[in-house]
Amino acid sequence: MSLTNAYLKRVYEDLESRCANEKEFLQAVEEVLESLEPIMDKHPEYEENAVIERIVEPERVIMFRVPWIDDNGKVQVNRGFRVQFNSAIGPYKGGLRFHPSVNLSVLKFLGFEQIFKNSLTTLPMGGGKGGSDFDPKGKSDREVMAFCTSFMTELYRHIGADTDVPAGDIGVGGREVGYLFGQYKRLANEFTGVITGKKVGAGGSLIRTEATGFGICYFTDEVLKANGTSFEGKTVLISGSGNVAIYACQKATELGGKVVAMCDSSGYIHDPDGIDLDAIKDIKEVRRARIKEYVEDHPNATYTEGCSGIWTIKCDIALPCATQNEINEESAKVLLANGVQCVVEGANMPCTPEAITAFQEAGIMYGPSKAANAGGVATSGLEMTQNSERIYWSREEVDAKLKVIMQNIYQSCADAAEEAGKPGNLQVGANVAGFLKVADAMVWQGINY
């Protein structure tokens, strides 16, 4: 731990002893607190009002049993969660993750990151996250529906359009959001914007499906522009092949990049001709199959078991879009040795602290996730606005708003980095800019004891 400010150090050490088993959560907190060091002296009111002690403690954590019946008639039980982390600037907002690796630490790290990400979007959204250790992989539609219905039967009493608005994340896409929304509507007897990522035509916003991936590329484009370059002619690696990766691949290609590799949790494909995205969409979105099938009708492409090998492919730009801690120090060093110029995080916290340090020490362009992938939740915010107004915006309108939001996020990170005395450090910029608005709102609202 490298914190030097006495107040931040004391709060972190106390948290470390109380949350010793929550390593992902501690990792996310430590990164934010390190970034705040340069600004703490200017803000004695934060210590006076115990802002740091309060901001690292979720306002509420809900854990619940989710029983459901599988296709063999057997009763299954999963664990459900909702972490309502911070509502200083708006209703709790953040996705639901269904993956066997989900636990309290993972959801607290995601909920904590979401506070600052949502603040950066400039929209009025607090931070939250939820999910379950349920694995949708290999389950029938009926089993997924049974699980989602049971999950919402408990969750519905804790959420609401002005209270807490979930959305998708890993393992939760349009299908799951539909089942969850249907059960909420039945139990609450109201059709409101209580969850985002809804189907277009049934309360959803155009561009929400594409928003996270598109937003990552709009943000990356700003980073590249500020450094006198662009996507044009660049070789790009994108990990994952889910919602975020697919639309990042589409936009990176539209902006002139050549995406040569993608992966799933089993392994990666390398196609030196450039990824055929229609084939990926067919495999992953339509057939829910494994990415290795890609090589069956792409003779120049190769498939390799294991995901981390993707970072050994030579590239100019790397966009990790799968999961947390997928680029460690060793992978970072291989990327650097192969001449990577720019790493922008599409997934939440995909680079370990050691990997980030390696990129920063090498002086390459680095964009942190809470800024770069904020386009997804920002467009969720736009979906909430459309639901409240009971209107729909066109594809062009939503895309234009998303682009402006991503440009503004880049600018506010760059400005905050400069003001904190760390010009060009978008990690510090994102953390400081995201934090200040929330911290000031917390001071303004008092302790409420």
By C-beta, is 158 or 175 nearer to ligand NDP? 175
Burial of 75 (0-12, 13-18, 19+ CB in 10 A): exposed
With left for phi above 0 and alpha for psi between -120 and 50, is residue 206 left, alpha or beta? Answer: beta
Cα separation, 18 vs 104, in Å, equals 14
Cβ burial 368-399 (10 Å sphere, 16+ → b, else e): bbbbbbbbbbbbbbbbbbbbeeeebbeeeebb
Should residue 195 be labelled a site residue for ligand 2IT when binding is judged by CB under 6 A? Answer: no
By C-beta, is 168 or 204 nearer to ligand NDP? 168
Footprint of ligand NDP on residues 275-294 (CB under 6 A)? Answer: none
Should residue 212 be labelled a site residue for ligand NDP when binding is judged by CB under 6 A? Answer: yes
Q: Which does residue 196 touch among ligand NDP, ligand 2IT, none (CB within 5 to 8 A, set by kind)?
A: ligand 2IT
Footprint of ligand 2IT on residues 71-130 (CB under 6 A)? Answer: 93-95, 117
**C-alpha distances in angstroms, 366 versus 178, 222, 410?**
36, 12, 12
Should residue 209 be labelled a site residue for ligand 2IT when binding is judged by CB under 6 A? Answer: no
Q: Indicate the helix (H) or strand (E) that contains 82.
A: strand 75-86
Task: Work out which of 34, 169, 176, 316 binds ligand NDP, going by CB under 6 A.
Answer: 169
Task: Work out which of 107, 120, 146, 167 binds ligand 2IT, going by CB under 6 A.
Answer: 167
With left for phi above 0 and alpha for psi between -120 and 50, is residue 99 left, alpha or beta? Answer: beta
User: Contact at 8 Å (CB) between 194 and 181?
Assistant: yes
Which of 108, 129, 284, 403 is the catalytic position?
Answer: 129
By C-beta, is 235 or 239 nearer to ligand 2IT? 239
Please choose, from the candidates 75, 285, 67, 92, the residue with its C-alpha nearest in 3D space to the C-alpha of residue 175: 285
Residue 129 annotated among the catalytic residues of the structure: yes
8-state DSSP, 204: B
Task: Work out which of 180, 275, 307, 364 binds ligand NDP, going by CB under 6 A.
Answer: 307
Please choose, from the candidates 202, 242, 206, the residue with its C-alpha nearest in 3D space to the C-alpha of residue 95: 242
Q: Which does residue 94 touch among ligand NDP, ligand 2IT, none (CB within 5 to 8 A, set by kind)?
A: ligand 2IT
Should residue 241 be labelled a site residue for ligand NDP when binding is judged by CB under 6 A? Answer: yes
By C-beta, is 60 or 142 nearer to ligand 2IT? 60
- Quick one: tokens of 112? 């904590």
Footprint of ligand 2IT on residues 333-362 (CB under 6 A)? Answer: 348
Where along the sequence are the contacts to ligand 2IT (CB under 6 A)? Answer: 93-95, 117, 167, 169, 196, 348, 376-377, 380
Binding positions for ligand NDP, rule: CB under 6 A: 168-171, 173, 212, 240-245, 264-266, 307, 321-323, 346-348, 373, 376
